[in-house]
Amino acid sequence: MRSQCLVIVASLCLTLFSLPLADAATPDETVLQAGAAISNITPPISLDPVAQSKRPPATHVHDELHARCLVLDDGEVRLALVVCDLRHMSAEVAANAKQLIQSATGIPPESVLISATHTHTSSGARLEEGESESYYDYKAFLARRIAEGVLRSVNQLEPARIGWGVVEEPTQVFNRRWFLMPGRGIIYGAHDNIEHVDTNPGYTGLLRPAGPVDPQITFLSVQSTSGKPIALFASYGLHYVGGIPARTISADYFAIFADRIGELLGVDPNQAPPFVGIMANGTSGDVNNLERYSEEELAKRDPQPKKRYLPYEKACEVAYLCAEKVLQGHLSLQWHDYVKLSSVQRTLTFERRYPTKEEVEWAEAVKAKKIKPMSTSRYSTYSTVLAYASPEMPPTIDVIVQTHRIGDLAIAAMPFEVFAEIGLELKDRSPIQPLMNISIANGSHGYLPTPQQHRLGGYETWIGVNKVQLDASEKMVDSLVEMLDELE
């Protein structure tokens, strides 16, 4: 009896001390709680029917964009995971959203992960990058809607169980950087420099890919103690699929997966609160969905007729395959009624990228119209080189990296378009297994190749496309491994 009274007194104290938190639920030290919600973040489309800018805004919405939120609570610590249907996640929006989240829910910024899927059809108006018409402040709207999604997840916290797993879908990921057969000729880079590899080099005359792919889909599944699915959160290292008509807003295969996995798990579409499927981007900086094979491999394969896909058909195909694989893994999931949560965050300061002497000379010669560039790429022009040569540009870039622990699953969050081999190295070195990688998280600072890939060249290594010192990936991986070790 006496010990029961003590328990009651203790839980009353807990209730009192937890009052500053915004939710009504009482944290219980031995019960895991979970809540999930989605917040609509679709930007406005243009009302100007004849908008004729170089990058015209969207005129159609095929499917709405969302911030998909999952909050876990172990009685002491709360963790919020948010994945947005956006091409990039600006560090400013992520920071502002985290401030709102902290004041609304008490969850500190280091326990909030906000990432972008990298859907390339997130905003025909490119609003998240500030290229918008002055209709309204989309960045402020976005931060607010992300915070609302997290608050709604907190408001829906309920006792839950959790499981996680790793499956593979190797047929939909292709490294897009290739060494070419000698017959393909010289590869010119953005500054007419000669490079060793080509990005998206067509489909013939290919020697071998310049890097690996990560075929794993790492996932975690959360359901109520009565077995009602609350959320399924997955990560796959695939850039995006595409095949979406011009000037159309769509969340690409990420959202199709989110719906499909709910169907496969037998979710009642009218359940309350609704189930939330989530697909985050793993490490896919050099990986896309375009099937490319070496000449040697092509010679071994039967000639395949090139299939013409209808809009969204390919995205559906990829999403359905991934969902089937996750379902298979889900069948043998081990459920946990309680897991411990913890997070470690660091701010890493990188030197920014500086152009070489040769690049500056090339850029000045182009500017003075002394030479005409061979490369027609719009990504790394003479003006980009001169901007990076300017002392006006800040000498360093601060980036946020995070590690999170959910029982024996760990998450590493990185704010770049990270090459697959970097994610694979992290998975290999992680003291906690399995490891889920999430890129374009808490900010977006361009591509992140390894120093070796920088030496090979190719689009992702160009200045402006890549913004940080050439060995940034090594520093980031070493830090993340230390931070995985620090997780309690």
Interface residues toward Zn ion, by CB under 5 A:
417
C-beta closer to Zn ion: residue 65 or 440: 440
- The backbone torsions φ and ψ at residue 123, rounded to the nearest 5 degrees and listed phi first, read -155, 110
C-beta closer to Zn ion: residue 240 or 362: 240
C-beta closer to Zn ion: residue 252 or 417: 417
Judge contact between 109 and 413, C-beta under 8 A: no
C-beta closer to Zn ion: residue 148 or 417: 417
C-beta closer to Zn ion: residue 63 or 417: 417
Look up residue 363 and give its two tokens.
Answer: 């850029």
CB of 361 to Zn ion, least distance (A): 29
> How many Å apart are CA 21 and CA 15, to the nearest integer?
10
- The backbone torsions φ and ψ at residue 273, rounded to the nearest 5 degrees and listed phi first, read -70, 160
CB of 292 to Zn ion, least distance (A): 17
C-beta closer to Zn ion: residue 400 or 418: 418
CB of 281 to Zn ion, least distance (A): 9
The upper half-sphere exposure of residue 242, i.e. CA atoms within 13 Å in the direction of its Cβ, equals: 8
Q: Nearest residue by C-beta to Zn ion?
A: 417
CB of 208 to Zn ion, least distance (A): 22
For the chain, the straight-line distance linking the first and the last C-alpha, in angstroms and rounded, comes to: 34
> How many Å apart are CA 256 and CA 110, to the nearest integer?
30
CB of 122 to Zn ion, least distance (A): 12
Q: Which residues contact 275 (CB under 8 A, 6 or more apart)?
A: 36, 229, 230, 231, 232, 262, 265, 267
Which residue, among 235, 216, 220, has the nearest Cα to 169 in the 3D structure?
216
CB of 118 to Zn ion, least distance (A): 6
CB of 444 to Zn ion, least distance (A): 10
Look up residue 164 and give its two tokens.
Answer: 């996680």
CB of 239 to Zn ion, least distance (A): 6
C-beta closer to Zn ion: residue 74 or 286: 286
C-beta closer to Zn ion: residue 85 or 417: 417
> How many Å apart are CA 406 and CA 488, to the nearest integer?
10
C-beta closer to Zn ion: residue 39 or 281: 281
- The backbone torsions φ and ψ at residue 36, rounded to the nearest 5 degrees and listed phi first, read -145, 145
Look up residue 415 and give its two tokens.
Answer: 């704010």
> How many Å apart are CA 112 and CA 438, to the nearest integer?
13
CB of 440 to Zn ion, least distance (A): 9
Q: Count Cβ neighbours within 10 Å for each residue of 396-428 and write b for 16 or more, e otherwise.
A: ebebbbbbbbbbebbbbbbbbbbbbbbbbbbbe
Look up residue 411 and give its two tokens.
Answer: 């998450």
Angle of CA points 355, 356, 358, to nearest 5°: 120
